[in-house]
Copies of this chain bind each other. A is one copy, B any other.
């Protein structure tokens, strides 16, 4: 792929406004920390979207010019406009990559695209140690990562996680308190590739950790469609036969 990858990063940007400890970790917001992890050489236009401006920053025009959308949301999923969710979902089905981070598992967009109760899981804010394991070593998203590495403190998520079985299970996480979690999962939906990564609670500097940044960078390269195709809507097709009847 020779063209540059256009990335749009949505962050609800709420905790940064209301919790000083989050602002300390992410002074410019989680979206800017994520942006700093993008693959430098291959990244083209980077756009930001937050809850406050999402109706305009996630406009049809912006999405049509986006190859990969990254989504971080937590406390304000219900405040996201249904129309924007549907617009994003359609773009994924027509080829835009989607990377959903951490509590984004409960976002309207993830639930819309996967159809199951992706908000269901066990959780605990206890600053526990998380140990990620690479389950599918040859996968592009695992490239350059060790078999295992530690995230010193993160929110704990535990199974059972209400997702459809992933097409590919790339990472599993062990948590100090006894839980395991399918922490790195892929699905193809329509022409679009989806990757979910569990890590990144707002009160820990997870997105500054090199291994997590490598995963983000790898995932953007993986999720980018071969061509930026803005497929027009089409209804079911009533078509003539291709082959002659007897």
Contact = CB atoms under 8 A, between A and B. Distances in A.
A83 interface: no
B135 A189 contact: no
Contact of A237 (B122, B137, B239): B122
Contact of A245 (B113, B117, B158, B176): B176
A51 to B, nearest CB: 20
Copy number in this complex?
4
Given A117-B93, A133-B158, A192 B138 contact: yes
B138 A191 contact: yes
Contacts of A116: 93, 113, 189-190
A169 to B, nearest CB: 7
Interface string A200-243: 00000000000000000000000001110000001111111111
B243 A176 contact: yes
Contacts of A112: 115
Contacts of A117: 93, 190
A11 interface: no
Interface string A176-191: 1111101000011111
A244 B126 CA distance: 12
Contact of A182 (B135, B226, B243): B135
Contacts of A178: 131, 148, 174, 241-243
A140 interface: yes
A189 B177 contact: no
Q: In the complex, which of the residues A93, A140, A180, A191 has the most CB atoms of chain B within 10 Å of its own CB atom? A: A180
A54 interface: no
The 3 closest A-B pairs by CB, nearest first: A138-B191, A177-B241, A178-B242
Interface of A: 89, 93, 95, 106, 112-117, 119-124, 126, 128-129, 131, 133-140, 143, 147-148, 156, 158-162, 164-165, 167-169, 172-180, 182, 187-193, 225-227, 234-246
